[in-house]
């Protein structure tokens, strides 16, 4: 800590750059170097724990500020101002820079909940500040801003209560609202065709050491569109219709042509557009969770959530369908690398470790540059998004459903880069029975079963299926079979590995523990040669797809004997909403 704070030159601690603001201005970002960022994260973690203790002792403390808090967001901030006659918004100018070194140090010295020793308070301020202020870009600036502005919230809520108004703050964005017939003059008064902030409100904010950005002060009355932190609040919290229509148009353009207009400039970033749709989806689809009182019976809440999830899958909303299309496009059509879709996260741990250890034998799967290695393939990550939108949680039943809907989903997309293959990797065991039946049907027409052992099965377009190589008289196999018996017999706390145990059991541990506590930490010493036949199958897929997509006469596909699906006679019908993965 002493080295970071006192030895690293001041000019070398941060990388400074500007980002464009919505109003056309520039916002300065000071990004700390990794070493300082790690230290600031540690400080932020401790301060968040302090804030949690403070809020547990005073339940009212977290009802006013909605930024940088768990279970708080622009939604909860906006909900406090729904269906009001008047909504007043004002903005604090230069919010983080106004919280300077002296204020940070003074808070730790004088706040009744801290009262830290002077050297400690000084050191914490030195860790947190850059050029004498809290920098935008530091992990500890948000939590410090919350601690330092709590006294402002107390001043504002007292004024709001006296004026019979509601008050909330989201970082530098302050909102008052009321249903009174006349808006309180202490907060704002009508002047001509506009409004001016009341003297008492201005006085309390300025005496707290903050400056009001007059250009962003606005009064919104019933009958006009009322917004709070970018969300409409006239009747319910929602996304402005113009924002939603623009996002829908940009998504349609990307999926049709590969580009879209953003602020008048052509863009092709899927990630940037995904952030916009995720925001809209979160607002429109998650309000049901906020409407359920957190203190209600948990079983009842879970039942309501399960019912809502079922309804969303059977009767998907417009934003859900749009968001699904973009996520499907990102994962399976516009790939930056070949994608491997395993049955679960543990298989990914095994294969990543095997590829790194067997790099010399499989150069297509890994690259080395400037002494650093990087995988040339990407492994599908199971997440909340994949579970909710793609219905992919892991396991062969979900993979069967994914394969079943693949063609009907793919046909909707006019823009299909598909520069790389999608490889579905399954265990060759009884769990794959339903997948085998699907692939043997007229939909795919592939000859496959436990006893078949082709390197891969091409299912059409950029989709492939790879089975684990057959082993033993019953032909069954799974990734754990390719480890050395000595690795499989490794004990943890006296327990033995049982790959059939999904959860921890007396005397045994399952795949997750095996992957995280044995394979990952010991990857450098484990013999992964048993995985070479499986990795060779992935190599074969990459070679086959390279031939299929090569320009000119050489692009002729491999013969059907290699597992190719038959050509389709007609365009598949579009998938119904219920058939969406």
Q: Which of 12-26, 256-270, 308-322 has the lowest mean pLDDT?
A: 308-322
Residue 557 has pLDDT above 80, yes or no: no
Calculate mean pLDDT across residues 509-536.
96
Q: Which residues does 477 contact at the CB level (< 8 Å), separation at least 6?
A: 427, 428, 429, 467, 468, 469, 470, 471
Q: Cβ distance 489 to 508 under 8 Å?
A: no
Residue 459 has pLDDT above 90, yes or no: yes
Per-residue pLDDT at 458: 97
> What phi, psi does 242 have (nearest 5°)?
-65, -40
Q: Cβ distance 416 to 427 under 8 Å?
A: no
* pTM (2 d.p.): 0.80
DSSP 293-327: -TTS-HHHHHHHHHHHHHHHHHS--HHHHHHHHHH
Query: Where residue 567 falls among pLDDT bands split at 50, 70, 90?
Result: very low
- Comparing 290 with 503, the larger pLDDT belongs to 503
How far is 260 from 267, CA to CA, in rounded Å?
5
Calculate mean pLDDT across residues 253-260.
96
Per-residue pLDDT at 502: 63
Q: Which of 27-41, 156-170, 438-452, 491-505 has the lowest mean pLDDT?
A: 491-505
Per-residue pLDDT at 203: 95
For strand 194-197 and strand 227-228, is the pairing parallel, antiparallel, or unpaired? unpaired
Calculate mean pLDDT across residues 395-400.
95
Residue 526 has pLDDT above 90, yes or no: yes
Per-residue pLDDT at 59: 66
Q: Which of 191-205, 456-470, 562-576 has the lowest mean pLDDT?
A: 562-576
Instruction: Give bridge partners of residue 460 from the DSSP assignment.
Output: 463
Per-residue pLDDT at 275: 94
Tokens of 106: 């003074």
Question: With pLDDT > 90 as the criterion, what percentage of the chain qualifies?
Answer: 79
How far is 331 from 325, CA to CA, in rounded Å?
10
Per-residue pLDDT at 25: 77
Residue 546 has pLDDT above 90, yes or no: yes
Calculate mean pLDDT across residues 308-332.
82
- Maximum average pLDDT range among 73-77, 239-243, 531-535: 531-535
Separate counts of helices (H) and strands (E) for the chain: 20, 22
Per-residue pLDDT at 579: 36
Per-residue model confidence as pLDDT tens digits over 107-117: 999 999 999 99
For strand 378-379 and strand 339-341, is the pairing parallel, antiparallel, or unpaired? parallel
Residue 488 has pLDDT above 70, yes or no: yes
Calculate mean pLDDT across residues 182-194.
94
Query: Where residue 564 falls among pLDDT bands split at 50, 70, 90?
Result: very low
Residue 285 has pLDDT above 80, yes or no: no
Calculate mean pLDDT across residues 235-247.
92
For strand 496-497 and strand 508-509, is the pairing parallel, antiparallel, or unpaired? parallel
Per-residue pLDDT at 144: 97
Per-residue pLDDT at 307: 58
Per-residue pLDDT at 68: 92
Residue 255 has pLDDT above 90, yes or no: yes
Instruction: Count CA within 13 A, CB hemisphere, residue 345.
Output: 13
Residue 253 has pLDDT above 70, yes or no: yes
Per-residue pLDDT at 19: 87
Per-residue pLDDT at 308: 56
Per-residue pLDDT at 20: 82
145: part of which helix (H) or strand (E)? helix 141-148
Which stretches does DSSP call E strand in 235-332?
260-262, 265-267
Per-residue pLDDT at 571: 35
Q: Cβ distance 448 to 436 under 8 Å?
A: yes
Residue 440, Cβ density class (10 Å: 0-12 exposed, 13-18 middle, ≥19 buried): middle
Calculate mean pLDDT across residues 411-415.
94
Per-residue model confidence as pLDDT tens digits over 70-125: 888 999 999 999 999 999 999 999 999 999 999 999 999 999 999 999 999 999 99
Calculate mean pLDDT across residues 517-545.
97
Mean pLDDT score of the chain: 89
């Amino acid at each position: 800590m002493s080295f970071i704070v006192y030895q690293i030159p001041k000019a070398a601690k941060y990388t400074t750059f500007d980002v464009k603001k919505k109003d056309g201005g520039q916002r300065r970002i000071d990004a700390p170097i990794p070493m300082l960022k790690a230290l600031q994260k540690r400080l932020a973690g401790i301060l968040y724990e302090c804030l949690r203790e403070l809020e547990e002792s005073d339940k009212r403390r977290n009802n006013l500020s909605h930024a940088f808090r768990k279970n708080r967001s622009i939604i909860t901030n906006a909900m406090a101002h729904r269906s009001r006659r008047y909504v007043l918004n004002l903005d604090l100018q230069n919010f983080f820079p106004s919280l300077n070194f002296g204020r940070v140090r003074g808070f730790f010295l004088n706040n009744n909940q801290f009262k830290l020793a002077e050297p400690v308070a000084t050191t914490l301020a030195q860790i947190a500040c850059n050029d004498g202020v809290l920098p935008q870009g530091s992990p500890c600036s948000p939590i410090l801003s919350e601690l330092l502005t709590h006294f402002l919230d107390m001043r504002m809520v007292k004024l709001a209560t006296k004026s019979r108004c509601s008050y909330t703050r989201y970082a530098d964005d302050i909102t008052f609202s009321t249903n009174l017939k006349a808006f309180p003059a202490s907060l704002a008064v009508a002047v001509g065709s506009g409004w001016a902030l009341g003297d008492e409100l201005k006085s309390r904010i300025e005496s707290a050491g903050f400056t009001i950005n007059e250009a962003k002060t606005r009064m919104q009355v019933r009958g006009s569109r009322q917004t709070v932190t970018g969300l409409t609040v006239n009747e319910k919290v929602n996304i402005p219709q113009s924002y939603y229509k623009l996002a829908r148009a940009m998504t349609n353009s990307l999926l049709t042509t590969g580009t879209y207009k953003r602020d008048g400039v052509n863009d092709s970033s899927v990630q940037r557009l995904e952030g916009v749709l995720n925001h809209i989806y979160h607002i429109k689809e998650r309000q049901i969770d906020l409407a359920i009182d957190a203190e209600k019976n948990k079983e009842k809440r879970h039942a309501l959530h399960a019912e809502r999830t079922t309804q969303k899958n059977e009767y998907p909303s417009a934003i859900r369908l749009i968001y699904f299309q973009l996520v499907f496009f990102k994962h399976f059509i516009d790939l930056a690398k070949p994608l491997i879709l395993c049955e679960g996260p543990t298989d990914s741990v095994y294969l990543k470790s095997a590829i790194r250890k067997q790099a010399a034998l499989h150069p297509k799967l890994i690259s080395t540059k400037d002494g650093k290695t990087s995988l040339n393939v990407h492994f599908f990550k199971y997440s909340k998004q994949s579970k909710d939108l793609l219905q992919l949680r892991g396991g062969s039943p979900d993979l069967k459903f994914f394969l079943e809907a693949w063609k009907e989903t793919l046909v909707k997309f006019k823009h299909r880069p598909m520069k790389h293959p999608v490889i579905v990797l399954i265990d060759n065991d009884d769990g794959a029975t339903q997948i085998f039946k699907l692939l043997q049907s007229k939909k795919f027409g592939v000859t496959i079963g436990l006893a078949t052992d082709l390197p891969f099965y091409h299912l059409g377009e950029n989709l492939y299926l790879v089975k684990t190589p057959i082993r033993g008289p019953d032909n069954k196999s799974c990734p754990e079979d390719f480890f050395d018996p000595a690795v499989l017999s490794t004990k943890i706390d006296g327990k033995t590995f049982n790959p059939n145990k999904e959860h921890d059991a007396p005397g045994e541990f399952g795949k997750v523990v095996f992957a995280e506590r044995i394979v990952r930490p010991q990857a450098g010493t484990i013999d992964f040669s048993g995985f070479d036949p499986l990795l060779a199958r992935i190599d074969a897929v990459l070679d086959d797809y390279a031939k299929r997509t090569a320009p000119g006469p050489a692009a002729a596909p491999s013969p059907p004997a290699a597992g190719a699906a038959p050509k389709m006679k007609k365009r598949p019908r579009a998938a119904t909403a219920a058939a969406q993965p």
